[in-house]
Amino acid sequence: VEAAELTAAAVVRDAAAAIEAAETPPTLEALAARAGYSPFHVLRLFKAQTGLTPRGYADAVRARRLADAVAEGAGVAEAAFAAGYGSLRGAYAAAGGITPGRARRGGAGETITAAFAECPFGPLLVGATARGVCFLGFAGPREALLADLRRRYPNATIIADDAALADHVAAVLAFIERPRGGLALPLDLQGTAFQKRVWDALRRIPPGETRSYSEIAAALGRPAAVRAVAAACARNPVALAVPCHRVVGKDGGLHGYRWGLPRKRALLAAEAGAGD
């Protein structure tokens, strides 16, 4: 059974990588040919481990590309067609109804204070406006983390001030050390209405527990919006504070954590452990 599970995980990882790398989503038949299985079997494996069909996963990837391009300053129409949408209507629907003006503001008029620290997973970057933490990233080179913050808020003024965010950074480090204690930070979450509903749902998942994409969609009263939930998870700007690491595949498998599956596994193991 263990060998079969490893084979299934490898098939799904390969299919997901193929979808991520392709400009045009590969067909189910093409993914099946790569795996050496029937299309039905690949579909079943993919859905069991991710909670999504390959098509749904591809839609989430495309929605993420659209959001990233708009955040970087591209026009909505340009970004939509570059991401593979055939119409602006489809792009707006995938983005949760985000409007062109709202998408392009990109932090205009905002001042974001940023602070770096070292954590067990590597460099940690916290960014905050006057209203609360708007960015939390880790486990990457400092330059890459800062570039991610600037990509999300291209029009904001970003200033470095470790002392100003010392309490926030200390809270994050304490959470990583003892995650069952939870992480309570003032947050300034900037996203679409649907994204915010998803992020709120993630914050309600207790430490030591997990939910699938489909369970979150059902809890929001949108059971058919599984791929939109996945896209919102991918756009989470505050790792750990909005615990997208607690979202797993329908079968409980670990998938799609941008900070790396080993770190997701470590966080979940620590949260499930005895103690606090």
Same domain, 129 and 78: no
Same domain, 86 and 65: yes
Q: pLDDT per residue over 129-149, tens digit each?
A: 988 999 999 988 889 899 989
Q: How far is CA 112 from CA 101, 121, 145, 214, 235, in A?
A: 20, 24, 14, 34, 19
With 60 as the cut, is the pLDDT of residue 93 above it?
no
Q: Domain count of the chain?
A: 3
Same domain, 114 and 173: yes
Q: Which domain covers residue 241, as residue numbers?
A: 193-261
% of the chain exceeding 70 in pLDDT: 79
- The CA distance from 126 to 116, in Å, is 7
Query: Which CATH number does the domain housing residue 175 bear?
Result: 3.30.160.70
Same domain, 197 and 150: no
Which is the catalytic residue, given 119, 134, 233, 244? Answer: 244
Per the annotation, the verdict on 244 as an active-site residue is yes
Residue 86 has a pLDDT of: 64
Extract the tokens encoding 55: 């098509």
- Of 181, 215, 238, which residue is a domain's last? 181
Same domain, 155 and 197: no
Please check whether residue 274 lies inside any domain of the structure. Answer: no
% of the chain exceeding 90 in pLDDT: 33
Give the count of alpha carbons within 13 A of 33, CB side only: 5
When the pLDDT of each residue in the chain is averaged and rounded to a whole number, the result is: 81
Mean pLDDT of the 193-213 span: 89
pTM: 0.63
Q: Higher confidence at residue 113 or residue 71? A: 113
Q: Place 77 in a pLDDT band, splitting at 50, 70 and 90.
A: low
Residue 103 has a pLDDT of: 47
Same domain, 115 and 34: no
Packing angle, helices 226-234 and 54-71, rounded to 10 = 40
Query: Which CATH number does the domain housing residue 224 bear?
Result: 1.10.10.10
